[in-house]
Chain A
Amino acid sequence: MTAETPLGVILIVYQPGNARVLARAAEEAGMAAARASTADELQALLNQREGHWVALVDPSGFGETVWPMCQRLQDHGIPFVVLSTNRHRDAGNRSLQYGAASVLYKPVAKEALLNLLRSLQPGTGSTREDADDGQA
């Protein structure tokens, strides 16, 4: 992937509506979005990927199966952001154990989320404090 190659965003999102609006937001911001809703789909994406990739993880609907996918992202050095809900703060905390760069609580402000994803590219750095700026 060259410097002009768009940033890729893996969407590990179960709910189709969320996958749709996240993909649209990423694409409108010039990023390439690809959805993985199973471990196999994620592995396939990881095998094919070129250039810089980051990931967005929405654990809603996955149950326990989401954590191995987070582990796999960590294993492959893909920085990722977890979108949680206030009702499931324990899931947010758990995601940090699997290497999440940030946890944002839904709904998030679209621009803040996109800025955070850009900041996860190598060389731009990221901080967990960014998460606080992402609340809608």
Chain B
Amino acid sequence: MDSVTRDADPSTVAGELERVSSGVPGLDQVLDGGLIARRGYLLRGGPGLGKTTIGLSFLLAAEEEERTLFIGFQEPEAELQANAARVGLDTRRIEFLSLAPSEEFFTGAETYDVFAASDVEQAPMIDTVVEAVERIQPQRVFIDSLTHLRLMSADRYQFRQQVVSLLRFLVDRGATAMFTSEFSAESPDDDLQFLADGVITLDPGISSPTVEVSKLRGSQTRRGPHQYRVDENGVEVFPRILPPMRRLTNGAGSVQFRSGNGDVDEMLHGGLESGTITLITGPSGVGKSTVAAMIAAVAARDGHRASVFQFEEELDGYLRRLRNLEIDVDGPLESENLRVEQIEPLRYLAEEFMADLLQRIEEENIDLVVIDSVTGFDMALNPDEAVHRPLHTLAKSLSRRGITVLLVNENHAFGEDFQISSRDISHLADNVIFFRYVHGGDTLEKLIGILKKRMSNFERVQRRFEIAPGGFRVGQPASAVLQGDGGRKDKT
């Protein structure tokens, strides 16, 4: 680092901004390539959100020849090292400067009330920090937290001047600095946000914490909140996925995926075109999952690769049900052209699941994906959001890569009260296969119909059908029912 010739701006080399890794998987993507070297970054958030772990990861991302310094006001060094070890971080490379009070402070030997803290603590603290920085000459410094400096400052002006001066001191000595702040409505940290070159905010969220980079001087960032996870492996950020702006393949519609049932395929005028999104919608127990599984199984038997993500049913029950209906899933499962995976609620974050799925699709050349069901997907991965942003992102990301998507959706419509979807997702769909129950005298009859198909014509009548041992049997057009279908509502 010292041999590099820098420009007047300490963050640039040969006119280019020099980036350093934040050390947190995924965060560098949000930062558009990493932190800009030799600048000061504010990491803000409430307790328990992983600020110290992120700080340690930042220090551990230093190059082997670089030196790092952790300045802590809260925990003694041994406690910090023990906590770091619990999340798999080996802190032996880090120099610690602990300014945490000793136990004597509590027992009375150190407590004082004759002077304000600013009169007593500040000068020795600054001397200690200056001495440590001059001695260690770190390339990375993490300060946890500046809230303590605020508490020992005489007033806001003094605090601001001290922070500016401290950052200048560190940057002038070639260090990239990250410092934390705790904030609340009663104790805001707006001043630090103005002073910092970058602001990284951690928020607890409702079901998962998020990180947002609201400021990065001289650089783009990936905007908005991004989910992250803190666990025994440290911190990992899952950058918010955006679908490609346009289709990435020219092969949309080059293949038709069939259900294997001649009547259903006839209604679809051959099948579902590749690269499309199909909404298979209907009330509970009507046969949506069965039809989706039939299409996936036939695709697999035809040599395509299909993945079913089952968010609702237990896997063994789901497969047993398909076998009872004589849907051949065992051959495709054996050939590994068909994969069926049960997704446990709360196991994944939405962005984590999507990133994992998109990576697998690249690696395994998956052609068809079934999400069974939309409700299960939302409950497992997206419990907080009123809108279906993750589902929209996933479906569009897949279809624009040429992958066919089947979304199994339960609606609560019954009888004449017909809706495509009560979840406002039909705008996503290129094709809509709907199921419904209607009164047929003393019994309920099941109807199947095609409501929409963007890439080809389709049969515009509803048909009666049955699901029973032996398979899926489609009957004649339900003309009598259609004639009495005045209550139909298309809620797209």
Contacts and interface: CB of A to CB of B under 8 A. Distances in A.
Given A15-B113, A17-B109, A22-B114, 10 more contacts: A16-B108, A20-B112, A21-B112, A21-B114, A25-B119, A60-B113, A83-B114, A107-B113, A110-B119, A136-B115
Contact of B109 (A16, A25, A107, A108): A16
Contacts of B105: 17
B49 to A, nearest CB: 33
B478 to A, nearest CB: 87
Contacts of B109: 16-17, 20
Interface residues of A, number: 18
B110 A18 contact: no
A17 B115 contact: no
Contacts of A21: 112, 114-115, 120
B111 interface: yes
Nearest first, the 10 A-B pairs at minimum CB distance are: A17-B112, A110-B119, A17-B111, A16-B109, A107-B116, A21-B112, A18-B112, A18-B114, A136-B116, A17-B110
B431 to A, nearest CB: 75
Interface of B: 105, 108-116, 119-120
Contacts of A109: 115-116, 119
A49 interface: no
Interface string A3-30: 0000000000001111011100100000
A106 interface: yes
Contacts of B114: 18, 21-22, 58, 83, 106-108
A107 B111 CA distance: 13
A21 B110 CA distance: 9
Interface string A76-88: 0000000101000
B108 A17 contact: yes
15 contacts: A15-B112, A15-B113, A17-B105, A18-B113, A18-B114, A21-B112, A25-B115, A83-B114, A85-B113, A107-B113, A107-B115, A107-B116, A109-B115, A110-B119, A136-B119
Contacts of A108: 114-115
A106 B119 CA distance: 13
A103 to B, nearest CB: 13
Interface in A67-83: 83
B110 A106 contact: no
Interface in A85-120: 85, 106-110
Nearest to B112: A17
A18 B108 CA distance: 10
Contacts of A22: 114
Most chain A CB within a 10 A radius of its CB, from B108, B109, B110, B115: B115
Contacts of A85: 113
A20 B112 CA distance: 8
